[in-house]
Each structure stands twice: as C-alpha cells, then as structure tokens.
Amino acid sequence: MSDANTATPTLTIGDKTHPIDNLSDLAKAQLANLQIVDAEIQRLQQQLGIAQVARETFLATLQTEFAKLG
C-alpha cells in the first residue's frame, strides 16, 4: 500500500526530470559521485575560508611588526 503523500524522489538536469528509481545503476553511481564531490567542494571552501582568515591575521601581525621598526 503506498502513501499518496509520499513524493517519488526525482533528479532534474537541464529541462529533464526522471524518477531516481528509474535511473540505471551507472547513473545512480554517478549521482552518488556528484554528491560526494559536492560535499568535498563544500569542505574545501570552508578550509579555504579558514586559511584566508589566518593569512589576514598573519599579514596584520606582520604589518604591526613593521610599524614598530619605523
């Protein structure tokens, strides 16, 4: 018995939408790969943000030290 309120998961690329259950095993594997890569990109963007803040802090400290030299 299916619940009428349960939506079938779909994937839309461009102007085409397909139920995920209808995708081939290869397509499902590629979808999983995309999800993994997207998560890694997000993680790397966070790491880049941390590195940029650290760089700004190092530069500010260096500028302070230069100012002490005259």
**pLDDT at position 70, please?**
83
Query: What is the number of residues in the chain?
Result: 70
**pLDDT at position 30, please?**
97
Contact 49/40 with Cβ under 8 angstroms?
no
pLDDT, one tens digit per residue, over 3-33 is 667 889 999 999 999 999 999 999 999 999 9
Q: What is the C-alpha to C-alpha distance for residues 52 and 22, in angstroms, rounded to an integer?
A: 44
Sequence spans of domains, the chain: 24-69
DSSP 24-36: -HHHHHHHHHHHH
**pLDDT at position 2, please?**
57
**pLDDT at position 54, please?**
99
**pLDDT at position 38, please?**
98
Among the listed residues 36, 13, 14, 37, the one whose alpha carbon sits nearest the alpha carbon of residue 23: 13
- C-alpha distances in Å from residue 15, one per residue of 11, 22, 25, 41, 67: 10, 17, 22, 25, 59
What pTM did the predictor assign?
0.73
**pLDDT at position 5, please?**
72
